[in-house]
Homo-oligomer: A and B are copies of this chain.
Amino acid sequence: MPHVSKPLPAPQDAEAMKFSEFGRLLAGPSGIGELMEDLGHALAAGGTGIRMLGGGNPAIIPAVADCWRRRMRELGDDPAAFDRMMAVYDPPRGNPQFLDAMAAMLRAKYGWPVDASHLAVTSGGQTAFFLLFNLLAGRQPDGTVRRVLLPLTPEYIGYANQGLSEDFFVSIRPRIEFTGAHSFKYHVDFAAVEEALAGDPSIAAVCVSRPTNPTGNVISDDELVRLSGLARSRGLPLIVDNAYGIPFPGIVFGAAAPLWNPDTILTLSLSKLGLPGTRTGIVVARPEIAAAVAAMTAITGLANGTIGQAILTPLIASGEIDRLVADHIVPFYRRKAALAREAVAAHFPAGSDYLVHANEGALFLWIWLRGLRCGSSEFSQRLKSRGVLVVPGRFFAFGSGCDRSHADQCIRVSYAMDDDTVRDGIRLIAEEYEASRSR
């Protein structure tokens, strides 16, 4: 085949690349970029030689993986359905059967008055946040700039760089409760939230992850209802990031009631169910917001991946998804979480100055190393050189008002990997912490 290829001058110096403001904000290094690089490469290599307690990759749970394989065989056994899944674009809002099944489930389970017009699929939960944050906040048609309030920080690393304007987030520090010799818990500081809402007319939305990534906190029903009321009283949407929550993947260890009303934007995802490779997120919101998300999907991506939706639709319709969650996913992570907490208790010396956040859900222990002098990034580098990946706490402190020095004494430790990796990783974390202190 003919081709055009000539000797070329040396590429322009990278310094000379002229990137836009969008590029300056989104195309550089970021915490989430580093994390996903580390995670992807560690796991693409089969996890050999590295204890991957870093990223938020879900576990491969045998009964759950069996279910995905069975569903793919079922799809393959129906060539017309399989071919349609591969070769036909869904509407930008999502697959109509999937949307109907999701809406029916939410109506039946929680009594929420939603139908497909309240839903929109996105290419993973991360993309839902990119679209929603920039839909609501940032530069406004009147020239003002609006922001997103995070009522309980540290918050999810993946939000930090998503804003298309500077100074995108307003971060509220938590009220810290010391619950034991080596345990603590964050609570929403409502006085501070109310003050921020009252004093800052630029707030466009309130956003909280529940369970909280990175801390494993699950804000209480009362906290959630109170946040919803505060947001609503100011005409602001409350965005609830339910990536780890109820009804799926359901990685919540105590009781927690989900909440939705037309002033709530709830996001769900198939990733932590074990399907991150399908990139499937779901937004539940008032119809104007859901329609806006669908419109943005068309323009920025044409349509969504079809495969996660095709796998899940009959499992939602039949209720099988609830059994997968209750019988396999929740027990699996409950056991892992206990194992991780026990490993911490076993490997950190009794007199060590550390605290573990209340472990109420998600895949993570959030460990506060109060004697850490070197900062969480340097500490994580030292751990990396010993073969353990964790995420430095400082990446979860962003936005104006956040407590960087507190977060910089913390690390996020995933317990989704196999038992030995988790135990061994935590042993090395404890060792390195003690070694750091005696230096």
Whether a CB of chain B sits under 8 angstroms from the CB of A401 is no
Cα of A88 to Cα of B130 in the assembled complex, Å: 22
The B-contacting residues of A in range 215-242, CB under 8 angstroms, are: 221, 224-225, 235
| Pair B278/A140 contact, Cβ less than 8 Å | no
A14 to B255 CA separation, bound complex (whole angstroms): 35
Interface string of A102-140 (1 = CB under 8 A from B): 000000011110000000000110110010001111111
- Asked whether, in the complex, the Cβ of B27 is within 8 Å of the Cβ of A296, the reply is yes
- Smallest CB gap from A10: residue in B: B262
15 contacts between A and B (CB under 8 A): A1-B247, A8-B262, A11-B288, A18-B146, A20-B139, A22-B139, A23-B135, A23-B292, A27-B293, A30-B295, A57-B87, A65-B82, A86-B274, A123-B127, A158-B299
List, in ascending order, chain B residues with CB within 8 A of A176's CB.
none
Using a CB–CB cutoff of 8 Å, the interface residues on chain A facing chain B are: 1-6, 8, 11-12, 14, 17-24, 26-30, 32-33, 36-37, 39-41, 43-44, 55, 57-60, 65, 68-69, 72-73, 76, 79, 82-92, 95-97, 109-112, 123-124, 126-127, 130, 134-141, 146, 158, 161-162, 164, 204, 221, 224-225, 235, 246-247, 255, 257-262, 274-279, 286-289, 292-296, 298-307
A65 surroundings in chain B (CB, below 8 A): 79, 82-83, 86-87
The residue that A274 contacts in the complex, of B23, B87, B111, with Cβ under 8 A, is B87
Q: How many Å lie between the Cα of A137 and that of B6 in the bound state?
A: 28
| Assembled-state Cα–Cα distance A287/B11 (Å) | 10
Contact B112–A87 (Cβ < 8 Å): no
Interface core residue of A41, A204, A247, A305 (most chain B CB under 10 Å): A305
